[in-house]
């Protein structure tokens, strides 16, 4: 699902989850899609699916309400409204146990893509929005500012929670859905979806890249030379390999046995405990193509990988004392911003 770049939205159902007043408002019809509302849901769905924070998962065994209701829609699209109502009732019940969860709308979207049919379940949290309103008197016009307390996330904003369930739902598949929720321990994943998160190639690569960077900042805090060598070898490996052997990777990156043990412990603490790990080389190439270097807290450089490795334009000179010189070469023009 991560590589979906075009979708067709066939049906949308909206309900209103008013937690403050303990009121659930269910529509009796599908949302009528026009150009603006179609674009609204299309943008939000694609943004969440493509987001690096979207995590794959599988429904847990036993009876699972969300899984069964999604199956009903996949098997009979005439059940879309009835099943969407039941999904709305269930999420409203689940969110009632979370004191911090906001009121909002809940959207169920039935979509097609180049990878098949899927359901997008979107939680659209309310936020205050401001607008003017005009009062027309007998002899004068008055313009005032008012607050709309049920404003929905803008087309350029991120949603707080969403899940994308693909058809078919099968035990044999690597994962059943992608979920977008930064509070993985909250009600959405634990009570509403009742899921087990899994790691695919993308997630493996993200964890290794993020954990390695955090390790480099700790382990080489005062040694830019070793940090640069560690990061360069890691980048080359992630962009060239489809599968990593953790023991071989650690040996290639770190000469110190003490640091190797610390690095492996950091990976294990983030879930990378198996000896061989599948890698998403395409994601690594895209993610690591551009580098953002923050130098001694006062200088920032944005460099793409091609320039970084072009010795006629950019060079890192190792001084032998743990420091490095960063050299920009053959500069023809620069501007100030």
CA distance 130 to 34: 24
**Cα–Cα distance between 214 and 236 in angstroms, integer?**
18
Partnered with residue 132 across adjacent β-strands are 145
Whether the CB-CB separation of 159 and 53 falls below 8 Å is answered with no
Question: How does pLDDT run across 43-54, given as a tens digit for each residue?
Answer: 999 999 999 889
Coil, helix or strand for 66?
helix
Rounded to whole angstroms, the maximal C-alpha distance in the chain is: 85
pTM over 0.85: no
Residue 105 sits at the vertex; the CA angle it makes with 97 and 91, to the nearest 5 degrees, is 35
Left, alpha or beta for 165 (phi > 0: left; psi -120 to 50: alpha)? beta
> Radius of gyration of the chain from Cα atoms?
25
Cα 241 from Cα 283, distance rounded (Å): 12
| 92-130 residue pLDDT tens | 999 988 888 899 999 999 999 998 999 999 999 988 778
Question: How confident is the model over 225-283, as pLDDT tens digits?
Answer: 999 899 999 999 999 889 999 999 999 999 889 999 999 999 999 989 999 999 999 88
φ, ψ for residue 202, nearest 5 deg: -60, -45
Give residue 139's pLDDT.
79
Percent of the chain with pLDDT over 90: 49
């Amino acid at each position: 699902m991560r590589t979906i770049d075009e979708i067709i939205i066939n049906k949308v159902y909206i309900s209103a989850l008013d937690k403050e007043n303990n009121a659930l408002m269910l529509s009796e019809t599908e949302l009528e899609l026009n150009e603006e509302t179609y674009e609204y849901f299309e943008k939000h769905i694609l943004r969440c699916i493509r987001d690096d924070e979207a995590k794959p998962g599988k429904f847990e065994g036993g009876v699972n309400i969300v899984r069964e209701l999604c199956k009903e829609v996949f098997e009979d699209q005439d059940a879309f409204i009835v099943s969407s109502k039941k999904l709305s009732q269930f999420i409203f019940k689940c969110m009632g146990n979370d004191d911090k969860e906001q009121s909002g709308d809940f959207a169920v979207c039935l979509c097609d893509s180049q990878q098949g049919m899927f359901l997008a379940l979107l939680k659209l949290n309310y936020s205050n929005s401001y607008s003017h309103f005009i009062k027309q008197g007998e002899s004068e016009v008055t313009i005032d500012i008012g607050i709309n307390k049920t404003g929905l996330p803008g087309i350029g904003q991120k949603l707080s929670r969403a899940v994308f369930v693909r058809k078919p739902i099968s035990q044999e598949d690597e994962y059943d859905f992608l979920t977008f929720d930064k509070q993985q321990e909250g009600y959405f994943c634990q009570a509403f979806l009742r899921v087990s998160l899994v790691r695919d190639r993308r997630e493996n690569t993200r964890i290794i890249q993020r954990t390695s960077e955090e390790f480099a900042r700790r382990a080489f805090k005062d040694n830019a030379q070793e940090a640069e060598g560690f990061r360069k070898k890691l980048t080359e490996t992630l962009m060239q390999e489809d599968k990593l052997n953790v023991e071989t990777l650690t040996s290639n990156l770190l000469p110190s046995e003490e640091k190797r043990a610390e690095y492996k412990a950091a990976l294990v603490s983030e879930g990378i405990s198996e000896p061989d790990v599948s890698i998403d080389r395409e994601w690594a190439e895209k993610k690591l193509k551009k580098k953002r270097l923050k130098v001694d807290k006062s200088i920032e450089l944005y460099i793409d990988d091609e320039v970084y490795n072009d010795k006629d334009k950019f060079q890192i000179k190792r001084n032998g004392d743990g420091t490095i010189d960063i050299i920009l070469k053959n500069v023809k023009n620069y501007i100030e911003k």
